[in-house]
Structure 1
C-alpha cells in the first residue's frame, strides 16, 4: 500500500478542495472537520521521524474517505511538530512548547470552524500529545459553543484489536515497537530500515505507570527517552510484519469511520 495515503485525497482532503467547496461542505447539516495531530521525533534507528504524523494522517484520511458518501467530512493537513521534549536527547526531533502548540491548534480550529462545520475532531497520533489534545478540546469547546469539539488518540480506539493480533509481550507495542513498525511496513515499507532495529521492552519503575502503547497507567511519570532505551525505540519491532500492519490499519480506519459517523449523527438536525 506504499504511498497511497501520502497524496491529497480529492474527496476528503481539505487541501485538495477549493474555498467554495470547503464552505459548501461545512454548511451541510452535521458536517465534520478532522484535524490530525502528529509529531516529528526520533523513532529509533529503523523508523523515520515523521512516523506519528504519517500514521495519524493516513488513518484519519482513509477513515474519513470510507464514509464520505454518507456524511459531509473533510480532513485538514496534519498539525506538526508535536509536543516531544522528552525525545530531544536522541536528536532528529522538532518540538513545540506546550502553550505554543495549544495556541496553534486553537487558531487552526478558529479559522476552520468559520467555514460552518458543526463538529471538529482532533485525531492524535503521538502519546506525548495526549494531555495537549485534552486541553485543546476544552479550550476550543469553551470558545465555540456552537460546535461539537472532540479528540481521540487513534491507537487507543483499537486496544482490543491490538491484543488479538500482537506477537510481542506487554511492553512490546510501545514507541517504535511492534505497533508502529507494523503499520509502517504496511504503508511505507521503503522508509523502514529492517537491518537496524534495536529496541528495549518498556519497563516502568512504578507499578502504576504505563507499560505499553495501549495500557497507560493512572500515574504520570516524566523521563527523557534515553532513560528507557539506548536506541530511542521501546518495544519489539523485530516481530512486526506487514500482515499485522494491515490488520491494525484497517481496524484503525474503521474505528475512525465509525466515530466520525456517530459525530455526524449527534450533530445533524
Structure 2
C-alpha cells in the first residue's frame, strides 16, 4: 500500500494493516524548547527539525512508506536551564519517553525507526535508546542528527571552518535557517558575532581543545553568557534556504539507503 500520508498521526488504525511492514520506516523527530540567545525564539530546534522534514518530503520516493511521528518539542536541555524559558526533561524521562514511543512503533508492526535529532545536547541519550530498542525488540534503529547530514561543498562552503566547529548554538547556520523559516521571529538587531570560549581553549590546549579527545560537561554560559555562539550577524535567509534544501535531500537519500539495506543487517547468534 502507498500510504495516504507521510504523517503517522494522520493514518487511521486500519491503515496499519495495509502497510508493507518490511519496508515501512518510522521517523521520530526529537527537538527541544530552549533559549537561543537574545535574537532567536525558544522554538529553534523544533522549527529546524520540522523544516528539514518538510524539505525532505518532495524527495522521498512515492512508493517508500516513510511515516513521520509527532515531533518531540521538549527534550534534554539542562545545559540551558540558567536561562528563563528553557524547558527540560530529565535524562531518565527522555529515555523512557522515546523508548516507549519506539515500543509503540514496534507494536504497530513497523520494524525500522529513525531518531531524527535537532538538538546537540541529547545525542548521547538518543544512542542509548537506539541500542536498547535493538537489543530488546529487534528493531532496526538509526540515530541521525540533521546537522551531521552531508550538505555538499557548495552549501558547507558558505560558512567558515570556525563557524562549523564553534558556531554550534544560535550561530550563523541556525540563524540563517530561522531567517528562511520564520523571519518574523528573528531579531537581527540583537544578533552579533558571539565568540565561544572553546575557540580560545582550542588554541591553548591541544588535547583538551581538539574537539575529539575530551568532552566538557558544560553549561551554555561556559561558552558565552549571551547563550549563543557563532557569527549570527552574518546569517542570511538565502543561506538558510540552501541548508534546508540540502539537509532535506540528504535525509531523503538516507531513508532510501535504509530501504536498500540487506535483510541480514541485524544478525542473530541463534
Q: Same fold (TM over 0.5)?
A: yes
Structure whose CA Rg is larger: 2
Structure 1 residue 16: Cα displacement: 2.1
TM-score, normalised relative to structure 1: 0.86
Question: Which residue in 1 is equivalent to 2:179?
Answer: 185
Distance 1:267 1:191 in 2: 44
Unaligned runs of 5+ in 1: 1-9
Secondary structure of residue in 2 paired with 1:182: helix
Unaligned runs of 5+ in 2: 265-270
1:166-192 deviation line (CA, Å, top 9, x unaligned): 158445632000111111111111111
Question: Which residue in 2 is equivalent to 1:88?
Answer: 81
Q: Does 1:124 align with 2:117?
A: yes
1:23–1:41 distance in 2 versus 1, CA, 3 Å: farther
Distance 1:107 1:166 in 2: 38
Question: Which residue in 1 is equivalent to 2:60?
Answer: 67
* Runs of 4 or more above 6 Å deviation: none
8 Å CA contact retained: 1:64, 1:75? no
Secondary structure of residue in 1 paired with 2:29: strand
Distance 1:65 1:14 in 2: 17
Structure 1 residue 144: Cα displacement: 1.5
Structure 1 residue 243: Cα displacement: 0.9
Question: Which residue in 1 is equivalent to 2:268?
Answer: none
8 Å CA contact retained: 2:76, 2:122? yes
8 Å CA contact retained: 2:194, 2:232? no
TM-score, normalised relative to structure 2: 0.86
1:66–1:268 distance in 2 versus 1, CA, 3 Å: farther
User: Which of residues 243, 254, 261 is equivalent to 1:248?
Assistant: 243
8 Å CA contact retained: 1:64, 1:256? no
Distance 1:113 1:194 in 2: 44
Deviates more, 1:223-232 or 1:56-65: 56-65
8 Å CA contact retained: 2:55, 2:247? no
1:89–1:254 distance in 2 versus 1, CA, 3 Å: same
Q: Does 1:31 align with 2:24?
A: yes
Question: Which residue in 1 is equivalent to 2:147?
Answer: 155
Aligned residues: 254
